[in-house]
Amino acid sequence: MQFISEKRLGDDILEREFTLGEIPGILWTPGSAFKPVPLILVSPPPLGLRKAYPRLLARARQAAAEGYAVATIELPWSGDRPRSAAADQARADLHRALQVGEPVTDDIVDRLILPLVDQAVPEWQAALDALLARPEIGGPVGYSGGVISIGTRLAVVEPRISAAVLFAGSFVPRAIFEEARQVTIPLHVLLQWDDEGNDRQMALDLFDAFGSKEKTLHANMGGHTGVPQFAGEEGNRFFTRHLK
Amino acid sequence: MQFISEKRLGDDILEREFTLGEIPGILWTPGSAFKPVPLILVSPPPLGLRKAYPRLLARARQAAAEGYAVATIELPWSGDRPRSAAADQARADLHRALQVGEPVTDDIVDRLILPLVDQAVPEWQAALDALLARPEIGGPVGYSGGVISIGTRLAVVEPRISAAVLFAGSFVPRAIFEEARQVTIPLHVLLQWDDEGNDRQMALDLFDAFGSKEKTLHANMGGHTGVPQFAGEEGNRFFTRHLK
């Protein structure tokens, strides 16, 4: 983990860009922490770190004010990272199916999501290794993420993650449903009820499949990107209950 | 509206039992309000005011501390109010169907719920008339209720109710789905995901049917009576957003 920039945002928050091998990332830490702070990993949406920056920064500011460190890394094939021709093809197939009103086949979903999960999960684990090695960051660790299949796999394979806020806004391969049954950490799942590019029933079935004893579903109106502010605040309170 | 008892609970809250015709009720008001306060109508569960009292009082204390008046009245055929042979029969039919695993027919649901809605809704409106006539109570008015069909009808016919927290924990007649489409006020719907005596799909369909632009569904684990404390607190924050 190599820091490539450092910037103070007011008195309260330190923003550092880093690279982890080839992967760009950002770490925000509270300006005035006297002991190691808990960590929230925030997975960006697939549109890339640069475009998602204002949204990520807003969340980081809020979390830092509450005493968390927040870290994010670029997803595979997003932002400035090398593209994947196979992923581009799968995304094109998905958009075509949605546009012409054809069913989104298991094949499309598998091609779109499974390689992304396989690639991203070890990267998040490597980021976690590097972040937890830093003296200013302790635990526990929460995960807050956009591609729900990545969060599901991480919750199964990564015991250092204690609680997760998951956004049910992407298609889910059947294989991930099996993994969902093995999840036991507390979950807070956000669903946009009228998300035009999402399968609501699939999201409800996935919520039902999670093995966690404590899991909460918050469904709100508005499209994919219309998560209301109060829903974000409820996610923060979920972390407060489980990480503090 | 006739007050029959008055009790100070600490410095902060005044509890008054009343009767509205034959209907018993309770009004809690903040001890130190200098101007008319907003009102939350809390419908008790069908088990009756007396048995629900500790739960109702806990909610009233919290709401009074936040500056609300809280009022409740006994539902028809509950508590010490006269029974209804037809409602008892419908409830017995429901329990038998659930016990032997038979489908709960529309006929049973209609006989159980529709007369209750027809009877209860004008009673709540009469209570609202009496409560809003008091100088210490102003507006706006929120409704928080257990039998979701009553809350649905009230939200349609009673323009003085500005926002509602509804508990999706009872069967819903088909006729109520039509009324749900006419609801336009902000709604906060609670669902216990594994409620043994409830039809989850029916609850999700009802949530979908509500015409409100702002509606939120909060689903949690645990049975019918297992609503977690944090879910209640989120309901309070919903009222704060809409009644203050």
Interface residue B194 vs chain A (CB under 8 A): no
CA distances from B35 to A159, B40, B57, B138, B149 (A): 53, 16, 23, 8, 33
Rounded CA separation A64/A78 (Å): 26
Average predicted confidence (pLDDT) for chain A: 94
Sign of CA dihedral A51, A54, A60, A63: negative
Rounded CA separation B63/B240 (Å): 10
Q: What is the pLDDT of residues A148-193, one digit of tens each?
A: 999 999 999 999 999 999 999 889 999 999 999 999 999 999 999 9
The reply to whether residue B230 touches residue A221, judged by beta carbons under 8 angstroms, is no
Q: Six-digit token pair at A224? A: 């994919």
Domain A2-83+116-243 is found in CATH 3.40.50.10860: no
Q: Which residues touch B44 (CB under 8 Å, ≥6 apart)?
A: B52, B56, B72, B74, B75, B78, B146
Residues of B in contact with A216 (CB under 8 A): 218-221, 231
The reply to whether residue A219 touches residue B231, judged by beta carbons under 8 angstroms, is no
Instruction: Identify from A188, A204, A221 which residue to disrupt to test chain B contact, counting B C-beta atoms within 10 A and taking the largest count.
Output: A221
Rounded CA separation A1/A3 (Å): 7
Predicted ipTM?
0.87
Interval A13-19 mean pLDDT: 96
CA distances from B161 to B75, B131, B132, B183 (A): 18, 13, 12, 11
Contact status, residue A125 vs residue A143, Cβ threshold 8 Å: no
Number of Cβ within 10 Å of residue B153's Cβ equals 23
Rounded CA separation B49/B178 (Å): 30
Residue A140 three-state SS: strand
The chain A residue lying nearest B214, using CA atoms, is A221
Domain chopping of chain A, boundaries: 2-83+116-243
Interface residue A213 vs chain B (CB under 8 A): yes
Give pLDDT, residue B33. Answer: 65
Half-sphere exposure of B55 (CA within 13 A, CB side): 19
Q: How many helices (H) and strands (E) does chain A have?
A: 7, 9
User: So what's the architecture of B2-82+117-243 in CATH?
Assistant: 3-Layer(aba) Sandwich (3.40)
Rg (CA), chain A: 17
- Given pLDDT bands bounded at 50, 70 and 90, which one contains residue A222? confident
Residue B125 three-state SS: helix
Lowest mean pLDDT among A9-13, A97-101, A139-143, B21-25: A9-13
Q: Six-digit token pair at B25? A: 């009720």
In angstroms, the separation between the Cα of residue B228 and the nearest Cα of chain A is 10
* Residue numbers in chain B where pLDDT is lower than 50: none
Q: What is the pLDDT of residues A107-150, one digit of tens each?
A: 999 999 999 999 999 999 999 999 999 999 998 999 998 899 99
Angular region, A10: left φ>0, alpha ψ -120 to 50, beta rest: left
The reply to whether residue B219 touches residue A217, judged by beta carbons under 8 angstroms, is yes
Rounded CA separation B80/B135 (Å): 29
Give pLDDT, residue B108. Answer: 96
Q: Among B27, B12, B15, which Cα is nearest to B65's?
A: B12
Q: Which residues touch A223 (CB under 8 Å, ≥6 apart)?
A: A192, A194, A195, A196
Q: What is the pLDDT of residues B30-54, one digit of tens each?
A: 987 678 999 999 998 888 999 999 9
Q: What is the pTM of this model?
A: 0.92
Q: Six-digit token pair at A48? A: 């890339």
The reply to whether residue A230 touches residue B219, judged by beta carbons under 8 angstroms, is no
Rounded CA separation B195/B203 (Å): 11
- The stretches of chain A forming alpha helices (DSSP H) are 49-65, 85-100, 106-132, 148-157, 174-180, 200-209, 229-243
Angle at B83 between CA B82 and CA B86, to 5 degrees: 140
**Phi then psi dihedrals of residue A203, to 5 deg:** -65, -40
Counted across chains A and B, CB pairs separated by less than 8 A come out at 47
- Given pLDDT bands bounded at 50, 70 and 90, which one contains residue A47? confident
Q: Among B188, B234, B83, which Cα is nearest to A220's?
A: B188
- Given pLDDT bands bounded at 50, 70 and 90, which one contains residue A33? low
Give pLDDT, residue A24. Answer: 97
Rounded CA separation B221/A55 (Å): 30
Residues of B in contact with A212 (CB under 8 A): 221
Q: Among A113, A143, A146, which Cα is nearest to A128's?
A: A143
